[in-house]
Amino acid sequence: MTERDTLIRLLPLVGAEPEILNDERIAHVVGHGHRIVSRRSVPGLDLDLEETPDAIVGRMTVRAGIRLEQPVHLCFGLAHPTGRQNIRLDLAVEEQAAVSVLSHCLFPVAQAAQHRMRATVHLGPGASLIYSEGHYHGPHGGMQVVPQASITVGQGARYRSDFSLLSGSVGELTIDYAVEVEEDGVAELTAKLFGHGTDRITLKEAVVLKGRRSRGLIKTRVVLADEARAEITGVTEAHERGARGHVDCLEIVQGRAQASAIPIVRVCHPEAKVTHEAAIGSVDKKGLETLMARGLAPEQAIELIVSGILR
Amino acid sequence: MASPLLSITNLTFSVEGRTVLDRLDLVIHPCEIHALLGANGSGKTTLASLLMGCEGYRPTAGTVVFAGTDLLTLPIHERAKLGLTLAWQEPARFEGITVREYLMLGRAESDPALMLRLVGLDPDRYLDRLVDKTLSGGERHRIELASVLAMKPKLAILDEPAAGIDMLSIHQIIAVIRTLKAEGSAVLLITHQEEVATISDAASQLCNGRIVCTGSPALVIERFRGRACVRCDGEVCGYDRT
């Protein structure tokens, strides 16, 4: 089986069907290590990617006014226990353009490998981007996964990201996202993480509401089992009149796991407002007892609550 | 009369040296709606939690027999499997769990849409909503009642089922309680709303952790209206519920 086939075979694990890569209406990029093993563009989307010895580098642009009906699939990963993958991507969604990007990161047998993604994202005025990133890792841990992104959301634009790591053991995961939002722009960042084994998860998301009436939401759901640890930092700054931000962090700790949450809120205008809520602890006792009062055994009730939080 | 479904005898519960339930006796028969009236702090919710087996609620003394089984030795889910359930006064919220899923937890073959209609909620609007904080208190209460209906329990403990429900809709809640009875369930109806208690077959008044009066709903409601708790045998306990 080729490396391409190995990655494609795993797509259902992150909610995608392999057939999408044969569909001419759907743009995609499949990268193994620093090689691009498959790609397709569609009208209105410029895909300018190249292989270098130490990275996949390039630019993806959705041209002004283009609203892509089908999501763009980015499939990156490694089919071997060891290796490195660096990706440097500039993503531009021009004025009044709209696109949904589904990024599938697949590391089924990785044990001592590295995946780094450094992205700059720019949304022009009135543009829309939904960026969903799903990770699949095997049981071994031992990886270093470092996604970094710098995002600017233009006037009246909407940016929504959804990062999920729901199965397997990653090793070290260090996410660092920074978003600046212009007037009437909206940024919503959601992360759902399930840490196992000795995973070490560091998540930092910062939303700077620079424009009037800009909006920001950081929502984080983390479940930690075994001896996993997580440190979650959500930063929201509001600098202009009518800016509104909210940080919402919930962490469930099981076994010997440890979690911390650091919400940082800065408001620099009297007519701006930022709120935050954070809760860390075991599974909610009342919720657990409610489900048990409907006949669920304790382990069934915990599983349902945890899967609901990460759904 | 049929043998009791629930027999509580000499039930006592103390916490940090304070007696919350004091030698409580109570009997509920199959298909009976039994109202439990009492002022705030009288021990009603403590009794509900203790019967369900919630964490931290283990009796100091006494016995509880439900459907012929010693209830106090069982964990919550085994009590539920025997046919006992509880609708909390402030029901829990669940992220990511839809109303449809929630209503099918207790009995997979239940009809969630029908259950919603019975509590006055439109299935088209609610089945795919989440049982989370986006529901109002009144909506969440109705969904809790629907989940109890769906379970078809032998005994449903309803802790203030009309809390957060507007006056115009209380008749719907009353209809749900009657439906439970018609479907073969007994109900322990914990309430301080006399209008709700009137639908019961029997009633008891709880005061300072003791049942001070048991009888017809009319009798118990009449006594509950008084400022002081008066036992059926004429003894005044001296507790001023105002």
Domain encompassing residue A65: 3-284
Q: Which carries the bigger pLDDT value, residue A2 or residue A17? A: A17
Q: How far is residue A182's CA from residue A123's CA, in Å, rounded to a whole number?
A: 10
The confidence score (pLDDT) of residue A110 equals 86
- Average the pLDDT over A81-96 and give the result: 96
Q: How far is residue A47's CA from residue A56's CA, in Å, rounded to a whole number?
A: 12
pLDDT in tens, A246-297: 999 999 999 999 999 999 999 999 999 999 998 999 899 999 999 999 999 9
A46 in contact with chain B, both atoms CB, cutoff 8 A: no
The confidence score (pLDDT) of residue A140 equals 86
The confidence score (pLDDT) of residue A295 equals 96
Q: Where are the domains of chain B?
A: 6-240
Sign of CA dihedral B128, B133, B139, B141: positive
Residue environment code for B208-240, b if the CB has 16+ CB neighbours within 10 A, otherwise e? bbbbbbbeebeebbebbeeeebbbeeeeeeeee
A310 in contact with chain B, both atoms CB, cutoff 8 A: yes
The confidence score (pLDDT) of residue A141 equals 86
How far A45 CA lies from chain B's nearest CA (Å)?
34
3-state helix, strand, coil in chain B (%, to 5): 35, 30, 40
* Residue A277 near residue A266, CB atoms below 8 Å: no
The helix/strand/coil state of A187 is strand
Q: What are phi and psi of B51, to 5 degrees?
A: -65, -35
* Residue A160 near residue A130, CB atoms below 8 Å: yes
* Residue B66 near residue B84, CB atoms below 8 Å: yes
pLDDT in tens, B37-86: 998 889 999 999 999 999 999 999 999 999 999 999 999 999 999 999 99
Contact criterion met (CB < 8 Å) for B52 and A293: yes
pLDDT in tens, B144-156: 999 999 999 999 9
Cβ partners under 8 Å of residue A285, min gap 6: B55
Whether complex ipTM tops 0.90: yes
Residue A40: inside a domain: yes
Domain count, chain A: 1
Exposure of B36 in the CB half-sphere (CA atoms within 13 A): 28
pLDDT of B1 above 70? no
A306 in contact with chain B, both atoms CB, cutoff 8 A: no
pLDDT in tens, A6-40: 778 878 877 788 888 889 999 999 999 999 999 99
Q: Which carries the bigger pLDDT value, residue B170 or residue B111? A: B111
Farthest CA pair distance, chain B: 54
pLDDT of B107 above 90? no
Closest-approach residue (CA) in chain A for B97:
A308
pLDDT in tens, B188-203: 999 988 888 999 999 9
The confidence score (pLDDT) of residue B164 equals 74
In the predicted model, what is the mean pLDDT of chain A? 94
In the predicted model, what is the mean pLDDT of chain B? 90
The tokens for B157 are 């403990």
The confidence score (pLDDT) of residue A35 equals 92
Task: Name the band, by pLDDT with cuts 50, 70 and 90, for residue B238.
Answer: very low
Contact criterion met (CB < 8 Å) for B92 and A221: no
3-state helix, strand, coil in chain A (%, to 5): 10, 55, 30
Q: CATH top-level class for B6-240?
A: alpha beta
Q: How far is residue B193's CA from residue B161's CA, in Å, rounded to a whole number?
A: 10
The confidence score (pLDDT) of residue B51 equals 98
Q: How far is residue B156's CA from residue B139's CA, in Å, rounded to a whole number?
A: 19
B106 in contact with chain A, both atoms CB, cutoff 8 A: yes
Task: Name the band, by pLDDT with cuts 50, 70 and 90, for residue A311.
Answer: confident
Antiparallel, parallel or unpaired: β A98-107 and B33-38:
unpaired
Which of B81, B88, B92 comes nearest A295 by C-beta? Answer: B81
The confidence score (pLDDT) of residue B231 equals 52
Question: In this structure, what DSSP letter does residue A167 have?
Answer: S
User: Using CA atoms in the order B98, B103, B107, B113, what is the torsion angle rounded to 10 degrees?
Assistant: -110
Residue A289: inside a domain: no
- The DSSP secondary structure of B107-126, one letter per residue, reads -TT--HHHHHHHTT--HHHH
pLDDT of B241 above 50? no
Cβ-Cβ contacts under 8 Å, B106 against chain A: 294-295
